[in-house]
Structure 1
Amino acid sequence: MLQTSNDRRWGHLLAERWSHEPGDLPPQLPRDTEIAILLRGSSVVDREGAGMRQRTFGRRGTVWLCPAGIREDFIRVEDQMQECLHLFLPGKPFDDTMLRDLDIDPSGMSIRYESIDRDMFIEHVADRILAELAQETSTGRLLIESLGRALSAHLVHSYAASSVRLKQSYAVQKPLDARRLSRVTEFIDASVEREFTVKDLASVACMSPAHFSRSFKAATGTAPHEYVSRQRLDLAKRLLSTSDRPLVDIAFAAGFSSQANFNRAFRKAVGTTPSHYRARKGQD
């Protein structure tokens, strides 16, 4: 394994980067829905699951789906796959997306066991996840929650094993009304130092998470995680300027898992390190 998101405390998906050598992989019975995306390398991959045998020429962008509970009895990689991203969607958030956002009974729906030559939406989500893995942001968990929900909905729309009746698409999304927007922004201001989810924000607005995210962006011009990111950056600046709290405490308050990740993100956003920013403000 090259990298894992285990230390990031993401609740809506697990991400792992792997390098696969030629040969047979052990049989597996995934508890979660798995999406594998080939990032570097090419190889013929033979696999067997759900009573089907598949032979795929994998190249950059090839996707393999394996629904939760489907045993893969045989997987063979003919040539080295230098880098492959594996995404695992846990059952509860996946089911919650179907029930609350799509109005679908999860017990009557399943995803196909399938290999896909290319899926631009999955590639886009993978790129966002890889960027967050490479450099943690203050609202990474909010971003990953939104990406996990969007990915779950995409799988249902595009790769359901049987036809499902979906909610009417929100082509034109009504902005969040002023009263609900005020409640949400007040909640964010009061809770900016603690961990919360898009689902928590949606509950404040009395909406489903997907509907809330679209309405919030229509009202503010930014996604929820982008809005919270700005609030947390302002918090970090304020604490650096007006308090003597240790940098590691400020990093955790701003939503980072480590001081090192906080230092990198702060320097990228502000152009200087937290230490230099504090010293400069102390001289003003």
Structure 2
Amino acid sequence: MLQTSNDRQWGHLLAERWSHEPGDLPPQLPRDTEIAILLRGSSVVDREGAGMRQRTFGRRGTVWLCPAGIREDFIRVENQMQECLHLFLPGKPFDDTMLRDLDIDPSGMSIRYETIDRDLFIEHVADRILAELAQETSTGRLLIESLGRALSAHLVHSYAASSVRLKQSYAVQKPLDARRLSRVTEFIDASVEREFTVKDLASVACMSPAHFSRSFKAATGTAPHEYVSRQRLDLAKRLLSTSDRPLVDIAFAAGFSSQANFNRAFRKAVGTTPSLYRARKGQD
């Protein structure tokens, strides 16, 4: 394994970067829905699951999809695959509320065991996750939660095991009304130093997470995690300017798991380190 998101405490998916040597992988019965995306290298991959045999020439962008509960009897890799991203969605990533939001009957919903030559949406999600793995942001958990929900919805739309007919296509999403938006922003302001999820914000607005995210963006022009990121950056600036709290405390208050990650993100956003920012403000 090259890297894992285990230490990030993401609640809605697990991400792992692997390098696979030629040979056989042991049989497995995954508890989670697994999406593997080849990032570097190429190889013929043989696998068998759900009574189906698949032989694929994998190259950059190839996706292997294995739903939760499908036993893979064997996987054989012929050549080295230098880098592969494995995403694991919870055993039941398609909760009933999300499916109803998509106008889909939740009963009997399942995903196909499939190899995909290329999927640009999955590639986009993978790129966002890789960027967060490489450099933590203050709202990484909110971002990953949103990406996990979007990825689940995409699998439902594109890779359902049975034909899924939507009752209606989405209309233009109405913006969050002023009363609900005020409740949500007040909650964010009061809770900016602690962890919360998109589901928490949706509960404040009395909406489902999927509808809330679209309505919030329609009202503010930004996704929830982007809005919270700006609020936490403002908090960090304020604490650096007006308090003598240690940098590590400010890092945790701004949503980072370490001072080093906070330093990198702050410098990228502001153009200077937290220490220099504090020193300059002290001279003003």
Q: TM-score, normalised by structure 2?
A: 0.97
Superposed CA offset, 1:42-93 (max 9, x none): 0000000000000000000000000000010110000000000000000244
Distance between the aligned counterparts of 1:260 and 1:96, measured in 2?
A: 40
Are residues 255 and 169 of structure 1, via their aligned partners in 2, closer, same or farther at CA, if it must alter by over 3 Å?
A: farther
Deviation at 1:108, TM superposition (A): 0.9
Superposed CA offset, 1:188-221 (max 9, x none): 0010001000011111111111111111111110
Is 163-172 or 84-93 further displaced after alignment? Answer: 163-172
Does the CA contact (< 8 Å) of 1:97 and 1:149 recur in 2? no
Are residues 254 and 274 of structure 1, via their aligned partners in 2, closer, same or farther at CA, if it must alter by over 3 Å?
A: same
Q: Could you tell me which residue of structure 2 aligns to residue 250 of structure 1?
A: 250
Deviation at 1:25, TM superposition (A): 0.7
Are residues 69 and 141 of structure 1, via their aligned partners in 2, closer, same or farther at CA, if it must alter by over 3 Å?
A: same
Secondary structure, in 3 states, of the residue corresponding to 1:108?
coil
Distance between the aligned counterparts of 1:58 and 1:97, measured in 2?
A: 35
Q: Could you tell me which residue of structure 2 aligns to residue 212 of structure 1?
A: 212
Does the CA contact (< 8 Å) of 2:23 and 2:77 recur in 1? yes
Are residues 125 and 171 of structure 1, via their aligned partners in 2, closer, same or farther at CA, if it must alter by over 3 Å?
A: farther
Is 168-177 or 248-257 further displaced after alignment? Answer: 168-177
Structure 1: runs of 5 or more not aligned: none
Deviation at 1:166, TM superposition (A): 3.1
Does the CA contact (< 8 Å) of 1:101 and 1:209 recur in 2? no
Distance between the aligned counterparts of 1:162 and 1:247, measured in 2?
A: 53
Deviation at 1:163, TM superposition (A): 1.5
Q: Does 1:259 align with 2:268?
A: no
Are residues 7 and 101 of structure 1, via their aligned partners in 2, closer, same or farther at CA, if it must alter by over 3 Å?
A: farther
Secondary structure, in 3 states, of the residue corresponding to 1:55?
strand
Deviation at 1:96, TM superposition (A): 5.1
Does the CA contact (< 8 Å) of 2:98 and 2:210 recur in 1? no
Does the CA contact (< 8 Å) of 1:97 and 1:152 recur in 2? no
Runs of 4+ in 1 over 2 A off after TM superposition: 91-107, 164-171
CA RMSD of aligned residues (A): 1.3
Is 58-67 or 156-165 further displaced after alignment? Answer: 156-165
Does the CA contact (< 8 Å) of 1:97 and 1:153 recur in 2? no
Distance between the aligned counterparts of 1:20 and 1:185, measured in 2?
A: 45
Q: Could you tell me which residue of structure 2 aligns to residue 72 of structure 1?
A: 72
Are residues 48 and 125 of structure 1, via their aligned partners in 2, closer, same or farther at CA, if it must alter by over 3 Å?
A: same
Deviation at 1:6, TM superposition (A): 0.3
Deviation at 1:165, TM superposition (A): 3.5
Superposed CA offset, 1:96-137 (max 9, x none): 564453354545111000000000000000000000000000
Residues 180-191 of structure 1 aligned to structure 2 (within 5 Å): 180-191=180-191
Are residues 194 and 224 of structure 1, via their aligned partners in 2, closer, same or farther at CA, if it must alter by over 3 Å?
A: same
Secondary structure, in 3 states, of the residue corresponding to 2:74?
strand
Secondary structure, in 3 states, of the residue corresponding to 1:34?
strand
Q: TM-score, normalised by structure 1?
A: 0.97
Secondary structure, in 3 states, of the residue corresponding to 1:82?
strand
